[in-house]
């Protein structure tokens, strides 16, 4: 039997001709673009017909022609004609009023690229290459600004009443303000809750790092529900320990050993750096407080003639530098440095490495918040050996931990 060849419709014949001619699948002149246009217009026509059944009739609402709309999609940009009604009550669903992008795929792609630290220029080129769509800076701002209400809610969310450990440190960025480029500090606070899970408690943008601003940060944490912190890990900023004691008087403050070593090495000639670092290791890696104090005295006597002030800061801050010796090795590893918050700062630097000066604080806040969300996705589980650490904390702080 001979197969009967089905006759093609005019539209189907056009598609077939385009395929034979080697036309691209997507883009303004692509094969699928007129198909999508035709489908959307048919769906809009069905929507307005349904609307007219309920709102139309003699002396009532009626059709009012069509309006042209340029639509962007993953298939390319094209024009559709959307039906209108006389009283403006028709609200299309398939392509909403003032909608210029067919789906949220592009929005999500832009947000993802922005999160990974790509500049607007790089994002624009990427979107144009993948989707064949030109996206202006204003559109990208509008897309990324969509996260600002969520950010505001996140920054004011309630916190836990008790945290086992908090790490506090600042990172600096350049921001344009009043026609000038200024360096500002981003004050970051990470917390370890009583389930052993890390969390970014907040970030705050202010002037160059100072204890008075940290006091405001701590007061904000208190207002959001924090009543007590067992241990706070900080750098040796003047007045920092006092600021913590003002808000959380029972908190034990551990100064970052790594910050202390960096500040010490700044005083040292390059030829002595390796030897002094080796001597300092004997101090902070000692098995006990007594041994550590002895090694510090030995270091002082060894280098006092060459560097009379080498250990001055160590002795002045010894109480807060040596807090960690009272705890088990498992807890010591968590608190003797601010490496936890510095690890978060490395994520920020990766996300902002292509940036020069940010146009305003909002521009910086958006990319920090996207980085926070990425970090939180990684920190869903408790620290390793948390059961052991928690049981040890119960012994050290039995009167301050309640189930």
Whole-angstrom Cα Rg for the chain? 31
| 182 confidence band (pLDDT: 50, 70, 90) | very high
- Which residue's structure tokens are 């490495």? 353
Helix (H, G, I), strand (E, B) or coil at 208: coil
Between 295 and 58, the more confident residue is 295
Q: Is 122 exposed, middle or buried (0-12, 13-18, 19+ CB in 10 A)?
A: middle
202, 220 in Cβ contact below 8 A? yes
pLDDT given for residue 125 in this prediction: 76
CA dist list (Å): 30 to 25, 49, 132, 274: 5, 30, 11, 65
pLDDT value, residue 230: 97
Q: Sorting pLDDT into bands at 50, 70 and 90, what band is 1?
A: very low
Q: Which of 16-20, 116-120, 374-378, 396-400 has the lowest mean pLDDT?
A: 16-20
Q: What are phi and psi of 304, to 5 degrees?
A: -65, -30
Q: Report whether pLDDT(101) > 90.
A: no
Percentage of the chain beyond pLDDT 90 is: 54
Q: Are residues 162 and 56 in contact, defined by beta-carbon separation less than 8 angstroms?
A: no
**Torsion of the alpha carbons at 324, 327, 330 and 333, rounded to the nearest 10:** 0
Give the Cα separation of 349 and 172 in Å (integer).
Answer: 10
The H or E element spanning position 167 is: strand 162-177
Residue 324 has pLDDT above 80, yes or no: yes
Phi, psi of 388 (to 5 degrees): -65, -45
Find out whether 284 and 317 touch, Cβ atoms under 8 Å.
no
* Residue-wise pLDDT tens digits, 124-167: 777 666 655 566 676 677 767 778 888 999 999 999 999 999 99
CA distance linking residue 371 with residue 358, whole number of Å: 16
Q: How confident is the model at residue 37 (pLDDT cuts 50, 70, 90)?
A: confident
The SS3 of residue 176 is strand
Q: 387: pLDDT confidence band, cut at 50, 70 and 90?
A: very high
Between 148 and 386, whose confidence is greater?
386
Q: Give the chain's mean pLDDT.
A: 85
């Amino acid at each position: 039997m001979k197969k009967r060849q089905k006759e093609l419709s005019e539209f189907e014949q056009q598609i077939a001709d385009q395929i034979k001619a080697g036309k691209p699948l997507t883009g303004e002149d692509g094969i699928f673009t007129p198909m999508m246009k035709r489908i959307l217009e048919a769906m809009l026509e069905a929507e307005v017909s349904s609307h007219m059944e309920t709102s139309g009739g003699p002396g009532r609402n009626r059709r009012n022609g069509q309006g042209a709309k340029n639509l962007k999609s993953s298939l390319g940009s094209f024009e559709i004609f959307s039906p209108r009604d006389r009283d403006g009550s028709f609200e299309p669903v398939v392509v909403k009023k003032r909608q210029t992008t067919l789906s949220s795929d592009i929005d999500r792609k832009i947000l993802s690229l922005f999160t990974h630290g790509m500049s607007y220029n790089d994002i624009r080129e990427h979107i144009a290459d993948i989707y064949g769509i030109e996206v202006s800076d204003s559109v990208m701002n509008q897309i990324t600004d969509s996260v600002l209400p969520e950010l505001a809610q996140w920054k004011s969310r309630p916190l836990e009443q008790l945290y086992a450990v908090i790490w506090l440190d600042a990172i600096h960025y350049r921001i344009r303000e009043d026609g000038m480029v200024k360096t500002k500090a981003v004050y970051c606070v990470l917390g370890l809750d009583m389930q052993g899970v890390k969390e970014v408690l907040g970030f705050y943008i202010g002037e160059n790092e100072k204890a008075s601003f940290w006091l405001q940060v701590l007061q904000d944490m208190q207002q959001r529900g924090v009543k007590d912190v067992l241990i706070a890990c900080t750098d040796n900023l003047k007045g920092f320990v006092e600021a913590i004691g003002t808000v959380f008087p029972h908190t034990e403050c551990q100064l970052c050993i790594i910050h202390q070593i960096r500040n010490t090495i700044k005083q040292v000639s390059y030829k002595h750096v390796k030897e002094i670092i080796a001597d300092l290791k004997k101090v902070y890696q000692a098995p006990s407080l007594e041994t550590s104090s002895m090694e510090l005295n030995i270091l002082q006597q060894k280098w006092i003639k060459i560097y009379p002030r080498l250990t001055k800061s160590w002795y002045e801050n010894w109480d807060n530098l040596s807090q960690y010796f009272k705890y088990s090795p498992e807890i010591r590893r968590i608190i003797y440095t601010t490496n936890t918050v510095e690890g978060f700062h490395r994520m920020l630097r990766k996300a902002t490495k292509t940036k020069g000066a940010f146009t305003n604080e909002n521009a910086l806040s958006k990319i920090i918040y996207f980085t926070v969300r990425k970090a939180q996705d990684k920190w869903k589980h408790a620290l390793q050996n948390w059961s052991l650490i928690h049981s040890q904390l119960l012994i050290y702080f039995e009167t301050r931990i309640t189930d």
